[in-house]
Amino acid sequence: MTCWETIGAYAFRSLGYGERLLPRSDFTLCQQFTLIGSGMIWNVYYGVLALAFGFVFAISLALAKNARPAVLRKPAEWFVFVFRGSPLFIQFFLAYFLFQALKQVSPVFDPLTSAALGALIVLFLNTAAYSGEIFLGALRSVPAGDIDAADAYGMTGWTRFRRVLFPTMLRLGWPAYTNEAIFLFHATTLVFFSGFPAWQQKGDALYYARYFADKTFNPFIPYPIVAFYFVLLTLAVIGLFGWINARLNRHLPQEQRRRIRVRPQLIR
């Protein structure tokens, strides 16, 4: 098989298209690059969707934790504590058990045990807890003057939040949120590692890397390939989030704009 044919056969293998059987012998670099790259589709899928849904939930959590009534504050505090205080690995494992139990209750819950939905929910809750904490910190450091000014204009409630608090909070929290996004993508490699099974050999980048490491008994090729793909992915995330950051800060004078310093602050 030439490399082009390999790419044609395996580029979408992780989604179940193309050649059904994984390579069994005479492994080539091209096969490893293609299949592991194909697995990256899932890493991107989990990362993008968990971030998108998690963003909304994180802001709600930040507001709830900042609220005065204990009915709102306490559940949010516990939620954040549980998800930030325990390893994601254990969370995946327990979630899989929970979803299995729910499945016995009603067939409505059937899709939950599939990695595509179940693992996404865990990642979504997990990133929401971490970014909720980031946005809470940002919310608490919104300058008091901004709020006074909003009051002076007669803004209240929703209008004040939408026009003053939210944009400033986003701007202040963005650099830390960028880090969270990077490490969420890293965390997606854990999906097929604890609990969730792989169906029809459809897995993520690390799943295929392990497949090759097991078949070739040589870990020194497939894992660096995963590393290579993740470096590319990280650069893409930094680029995108940096662009958003520039837009969030475009009203500020040049020298006051905060550049994102990528710092590995958050991981699970």
Partner 1 sequence: MKKLTIPAAALATALAGAAMAQDVVRLGTEGAYPPWNFINDAGEVDGFERELGDELCKRAELTCTWVTNDWDSIIPNLVSGNYDAIMAGMSVTDERDAVIDFTQAYTPADPSKYISLSEDMDVETAVVAAQTNTIQAAFVADQGWTLVEFPTPEETIQAVRDGEADVVLADGSYLDAAAAENDDLYLLERIEKIGGGVAVGLRESDGDLRAALDAAIQSMKDDGTLNAMIEKWEVATLW
Partner 2 sequence: MFSYCTDPSTLDGLAWLSCYLTTGKQFLFYTSFGTVLVLLFITAPVALAFGFGGAIAARSRIAPLRWIGKTYIAMVRGVPDIVYFMFFVIALDQGLEWLRHKWKCPDWDAPIRQGSDFLVCAEAKLPLSSSPQIWHEIYNFSLAVFTFGIVFGAFSANVLYGAMRAVPHAQIETAEAYGMSPRQSFWRVLVPQMWMYALPGLSNLWMILIKATPLLFLLGVEDIVYWARELGGTANPRFTAYPHGDWRLWYFLALLVFYLLFTRLSEVVLARITRRLSHGQAVLGGAQRETAA
31 touches partner 1 (CB under 8 A):
no
Contact criterion met (CB below 8 Å) for 50 and 83:
no
Q: Considering only residues 149-208, where is the footprint of partner 2 by CB under 8 A? A: 182, 186-187, 189-190, 193-194, 206
| Two structure tokens written together for 185 | 């993508």
**Does the footprint of partner 2 cover residue 262 (CB under 8 A)?**
yes
Q: Is 266 in the site for partner 2 (CB under 8 A)?
A: yes
- Distance CA(214)–CA(255), nearest Å, equals 53
Q: How far is CA 125 from the centre of its chain?
A: 10
Six token digits for residue 216: 């070739």
Candidate residues 113, 131, 168, 245; the one interacting with partner 1 per rule CB under 8 A: 113
Give yes or no for residue 16 binding partner 1 (CB under 8 A).
no
Sole window of 14-22, 77-85, 147-155, 249-257 interacting with partner 1 (rule: CB under 8 A): 14-22
Burial class (CB in 10 A: 0-12, 13-18, 19+), 249: middle
Site for partner 1 (CB under 8 A): which residue of 53, 146, 150, 201?
201
Q: Which residue has the tokens 């008091």?
A: 144
The strand ranges marked E within 31-173 are none
Our CB check for partner 1 shows the closer of 31 and 113 to be 113
Q: Which of 5, 148, 151, 214 binds partner 1 (CB under 8 A)?
A: 214
Judged by CB under 8 A, the chain residues 36 through 95 that form the site for partner 1 are: none
Minimum gap (Å) between residue 49 Cβ and partner 1: 23
Length of the chain, in residues: 268
How far apart CA 137 and CA 123 sit, in angstroms, is 21
**Residue 37: closest CA among 188, 189, 196, 208:** 208
Between vectors from CA 71 to CA 70 and to CA 73, what angle results, nearest 5°? Answer: 55
Q: Which is nearer to partner 1, 73 or 215 (CB)?
A: 215
Q: Which is nearer to partner 1, 59 or 209 (CB)?
A: 209
User: Applying CB under 8 A, what is the total number of residues that bind partner 1?
Assistant: 21
Identity of the residue, 19 or 77, whose beta carbon is nearer to partner 1 in the bound complex: 19
Structure tokens that stand for 16 in this block: 């179940």
Closer of 9 and 226 to partner 2 (Cβ): 226
Contact yes or no for 85/75 (Cβ under 8 A): no
Q: How far is the CB of 186 from partner 2 (least distance, A)?
A: 4
* Alpha carbon distances (Å) from 46 to 54, 146, 163, 164, 192: 11, 37, 31, 32, 12
Residues that bind partner 2 in the complex, under the rule CB under 8 A: 81-82, 84-90, 93-94, 97, 137, 141, 182, 186-187, 189-190, 193-194, 206, 209-210, 213, 217-220, 223, 226-227, 230-231, 234-235, 261-268
Residues that bind partner 1 in the complex, under the rule CB under 8 A: 20-22, 24-25, 100, 103-104, 113, 197-201, 210, 213-215, 217-219
